Chain A
Amino acid sequence: MATEQFHNLQDLRHTATLATKVFIQRDYRDGTVCKFQTKFPEELDNRIERALFEDTIKTLNNYYAEAEKISGQSYLEGCLACASAYIIFLCMETRYEKVLRKISMYIQEQNEKIYAPRGLLITDPVERGMRVISFVDHAGWVSEENRSSHVSFHKCL
Chain B
Amino acid sequence: MIAKKVTRKWEKLPGKNSFCCDGRVMMARQKGVFYLTLFLITGTCALFFAFECPYLAVHLSAAVPVCAVILFLFVMAMLLRTSFSDPGVLPRALPEEASFIEMEIEAANGSVPAGQRPPPRIRNVQINNQIVKLKYCYTCKIFRPPRASHCSICDNCVDRFDHHCPWVGNCVGKRNYRYFYLFTLSLSLLTIYIFTFDIVHVTLRSVFYGSVWCVAALTLPSTVVEVLVCFFTLWSVVGLTGFHTYLISLNQTTNEDIKGSWSGKNRVQNPYSHKNIVKNCCEVLCGPTYPSVLDRRGVMLESSGSTPCKTSDVTAATANTVTPNEVAFFSLQKTTSPLIPNEHSPDEAPPSIATTGHDTATSIPEEEDATGPNGSAPKAPPTTILVKESSH
Chain A interface (Cβ within 8 Å of chain B)?
6, 10, 14, 17-32, 37, 39, 41, 43, 67-70, 74-75, 77-79, 81-82, 85-87, 89, 94-97, 100, 104, 107-108, 111, 121-124, 126-132, 134, 136, 140-145, 147-154, 156-157
Contacts and interface: CB of A to CB of B under 8 A. Distances in A.
Interface residues of B, number: 75
Given A23-B331, A25-B333, 6 more contacts: A23-B329, A31-B127, A121-B316, A132-B97, A149-B315, A156-B23
A74 B127 contact: no
13 contacts: A23-B328, A23-B330, A28-B333, A68-B287, A68-B288, A70-B282, A75-B282, A78-B285, A78-B289, A128-B97, A147-B311, A149-B315, A151-B315
Main secondary structure of the interface of B (DSSP, over half): loop
B1 interface: no
| CB-based closest 6 A-B pairs | A154-B297, A85-B77, A157-B85, A43-B329, A129-B91, A17-B325
B15 to A, nearest CB: 13
Interface of B: 23-26, 73-74, 77-78, 81, 84-86, 90-91, 93-94, 96-97, 100, 125-128, 132, 134, 142, 145-147, 160, 179, 182, 271-272, 282-283, 285-298, 301, 303, 309, 311-321, 323-333
A121 B84 CA distance: 36
Contacts of B321: 14, 142
A100 B291 contact: yes
Contact of B296 (A85, A134, A136, A154): A154
B315 A29 contact: no
Most buried by A among B291, B312, B333: B291
Contacts of B94: 128
A81 B297 CA distance: 24
A144 B24 contact: no
B142 A85 contact: no
B309 A142 contact: yes
Given A21-B96, A74-B287, A156-B23, A29 B303 contact: no
Most buried by B among A18, A20, A82, A127: A127
A144 B303 contact: yes
Contact of A96 (B26, B125, B289, B330): B289
Contacts of A23: 97, 100, 328-331
B291 A20 contact: no
Nearest to B77: A85
Contacts of A147: 311-312, 315, 317
Given A86-B77, A127-B312, A95 B288 contact: yes
A124 B316 contact: yes
B216 to A, nearest CB: 36
Contact of A154 (B283, B289, B295, B328): B295
A151 B90 contact: no
Contact of A24 (B134, B146, B282, B331): B331
A68 B325 CA distance: 39
Contacts of A78: 285-287, 289
Most buried by A among B134, B179, B328: B328
A136 B319 contact: yes
A18 B323 contact: yes
Nearest to A130: B293
A156 B283 CA distance: 23
Given A21-B100, A87-B77, A104-B314, A81 B24 contact: no
A141 B319 contact: yes
A10 B77 CA distance: 42
Contacts of B128: 31
Contacts of A123: 316-318
A128 B25 CA distance: 21
A78 B285 CA distance: 8
Contact of A152 (B127, B294, B313): B313
A96 B100 contact: no
Contacts of B319: 14, 18, 136, 140-142
Most buried by A among B23, B93, B318: B318
Contacts of A17: 323-326
Nearest to B321: A142
B308 to A, nearest CB: 10
Contacts of B81: 85-86, 157
A122 B309 CA distance: 18
Nearest to B303: A144
A128 B353 CA distance: 33
A49 to B, nearest CB: 17
Given A78-B285, A134-B318, A31 B146 contact: yes
A20 B328 contact: yes
A141 B316 CA distance: 10
A57 B176 CA distance: 29
B318 A94 contact: no
B325 to A, nearest CB: 4
A20 B325 contact: no
B329 A32 contact: no
